[in-house]
Amino acid sequence: MTQRIAVLGATGSIGDSTLSILAEHPQLYQVYALSGHGRLDKLLTLCQQFQPVRVAVPSEKVDEFATRLQQAGLNCDVVGGQAGLDDIAADPEVDTVVAAIVGAAGLSSTLTAARAGKRILLANKEALVMAGSLMMQAVKDNGATLLPLDSEHNAIFQCLPNEVQQNNTAIHDAGHGVKKLWLTASGGPFLHKSLQQMQAASVSEAVKHPNWSMGKKISVDSATMMNKGLELIEACHLFDLAESDIQVVIHPQSIIHSMVEYTDGSFLAQLGSPDMRTPIAHALAYPQRIATSVESLDLFQLAALEFVKPDLEKFACLKLARQAMQTGQSATIALNAANEVAVEAFIKQQVFLTDIALINARVLDKMLGGDAILASQHTTGIAQNDTGLSQGINPNFSLNIKQLDDILNIDKIARSFAEQVIQECRS
């Protein structure tokens, strides 16, 4: 039987890798729907190549894009905006939704896919950072299947016992002997650079990842290690563990994609070339395997595998993510929102790379009442000891998060706080 696939975020880096696997196996997969936000020329080319039945674009582009499709002789249903993405995610014809939109923009369609009981291949980690409990509950209640594409989470999934993978038993069952997860990180382009060098980094230096080729936002997140922070929170929800059960280790070669430590002393690891097509192929075919043209790992070429403890002063975002996870959902929503705004400001050259951690910490402070750490470094002039708590949201607010609107409300407040902090630091 052919699996009908909707690739949401088809014009991005994960979209590229996914479509290249789908193109290699046309007898197994039908590209039923695609979505794109910015690069609509590219989306048109993808429509010509894959002939999807449905396509989603921003609302204001629906008519124009429909005309372009018609001119290209394509018969394709065009839908717009968030409602259009949600409609595709719940389409009864769709078997599998690849959630590859970047940031909070991907949350609604991912949650909709879970509520519609789909098989979800999750790249959009921000959906779990913002709405982990809601997502996991929706998956459970509606018989959906959630398979991680993030290479670390996919690696951990592969190293877990079968019964846990299939959701037949809990990861905590003593018989499984799972002791700890080891989340590997490359350390990004500034691993061997000083904080001063990091502060002076240009956008092109920050997005130049040593091992992976990815979208801009996640590349900046890798440079600050916020990406690992988001992944830590993602792992807590996916695998139902506390943040203290997950150890982050820097492994600069990006050959081991993560590990599971067992109580008998065993470490199970998944290794491979740093190429997203491997976890994508794994999740598409699971529980079977399909071939890919990913370059095979040449073990004889590997000089050494290194492991280093992360420096939490330099990579303060990672420390913030642990604190946010301990504090509760309002904190993880606020952190994610602040970070999206701060990364955007860095890309627009309004703040330094090292300011991102400070902006994130300030927003957490403002929202939650002053308990978030403030990073030790001081760069563009963001005050370190101003807790500005008056309008703060009580962390217990997490208890009242019942629906998507509650989440989006906190997200909105955190974004405006972040804008405010950025204005303060620029003036």
> Which positions lie near ligand NAD, rule CB under 6 A?
9-15, 36-38, 100-102, 105, 123-126, 150, 212, 214-218, 276
Cβ proximity of 332 and 233 under 8 Å:
yes
Cβ proximity of 224 and 353 under 8 Å:
yes
Is 93 in a helix, a strand, or coil? Answer: coil
| Residue nearest ligand NAD, Cβ-based | 12
Cβ proximity of 159 and 270 under 8 Å:
yes
Q: Select 96 or 222, whichever has its Cβ closest to Mg ion.
A: 222
Nearest distance from residue 256's CB to ligand NAD, in Å? 16
For residue 158 the two structure tokens come to 């592969």
Q: Select 215 or 252, whichever has its Cβ closest to ligand NAD.
A: 215
Give the range of 144-152, 261-269, 297-305, 369-377 binding Mg ion by CB under 5 A: 144-152
Q: Select 69 or 368, whichever has its Cβ closest to ligand NAD.
A: 69
- φ/ψ of residue 120, rounded to 5: -115, 125
Nearest distance from residue 12's CB to Mg ion, in Å? 14
Q: Select 282 or 362, whichever has its Cβ closest to ligand NAD.
A: 282
Total residues interacting with Mg ion, rule: CB under 5 A: 3
Give the range of 146-154, 157-165, 167-175, 386-394 binding Mg ion by CB under 5 A: 146-154
Q: Select 34 or 382, whichever has its Cβ closest to ligand NAD.
A: 34
Where does residue 56 rank: exposed (0-12), middle (13-18), buried (19+ CB within 10 A)? buried
Nearest distance from residue 29's CB to ligand NAD, in Å? 18
**Count of CB atoms within 10 A of residue 122's CB?**
27
Q: Select 332 or 377, whichever has its Cβ closest to Mg ion.
A: 332
Q: Is 150 in the site for Mg ion (CB under 5 A)?
A: yes
Q: Select 101 or 116, whichever has its Cβ closest to ligand NAD.
A: 101
Q: Which does 189 bind (CB under 5 to 8 A by kind): ligand NAD, Mg ion, none?
A: none
Cβ proximity of 77 and 55 under 8 Å:
yes
Nearest distance from residue 211's CB to Mg ion, in Å? 11
Q: Which does 278 bind (CB under 5 to 8 A by kind): ligand NAD, Mg ion, none?
A: none
Q: Which does 276 bind (CB under 5 to 8 A by kind): Mg ion, ligand NAD, none?
A: ligand NAD
| Residue 415 one-letter amino acid | R
Distance CA 365, CA 371 (A): 6
Element (H, E) at 19: helix 13-24
Q: Select 36 or 188, whichever has its Cβ closest to Mg ion.
A: 188
Where does residue 203 rank: exposed (0-12), middle (13-18), buried (19+ CB within 10 A)? middle
Distance CA 294, CA 327 (A): 40
Distance CA 333, CA 364 (A): 10
Q: Which does 13 bind (CB under 5 to 8 A by kind): ligand NAD, Mg ion, none?
A: ligand NAD
Distance CA 418, CA 363 (A): 6
Give the range of 113-121, 149-157, 256-264, 413-421 binding Mg ion by CB under 5 A: 149-157
For residue 107 the two structure tokens come to 């949350």
User: Counting every residue, how long is the chain?
Assistant: 427
Nearest distance from residue 223's CB to ligand NAD, in Å? 13
For the chain, helix, strand, coil in percent to 5 are: 50, 15, 35
Q: Select 260 or 401, whichever has its Cβ closest to Mg ion.
A: 260
Distance CA 300, CA 335 (A): 42
Q: Which does 9 bind (CB under 5 to 8 A by kind): Mg ion, ligand NAD, none?
A: ligand NAD
Nearest distance from residue 150's CB to Mg ion, in Å? 4
Nearest distance from residue 227's CB to Mg ion, in Å? 6
Is 148 in a helix, a strand, or coil? Answer: strand
Q: Which does 272 bind (CB under 5 to 8 A by kind): ligand NAD, Mg ion, none?
A: none
Q: Which does 310 bind (CB under 5 to 8 A by kind): Mg ion, ligand NAD, none?
A: none
Q: Select 279 or 310, whichever has its Cβ closest to ligand NAD.
A: 279
Nearest distance from residue 364's CB to Mg ion, in Å? 23
Q: Which does 277 bind (CB under 5 to 8 A by kind): ligand NAD, Mg ion, none?
A: none
Nearest distance from residue 57's CB to ligand NAD, in Å? 9
Give the sign of the dihedral formed by CA 251, CA 256, CA 257, CA 258: negative
Cβ proximity of 400 and 406 under 8 Å:
yes
- Residues contributing to the site for Mg ion (CB under 5 A): 150-152
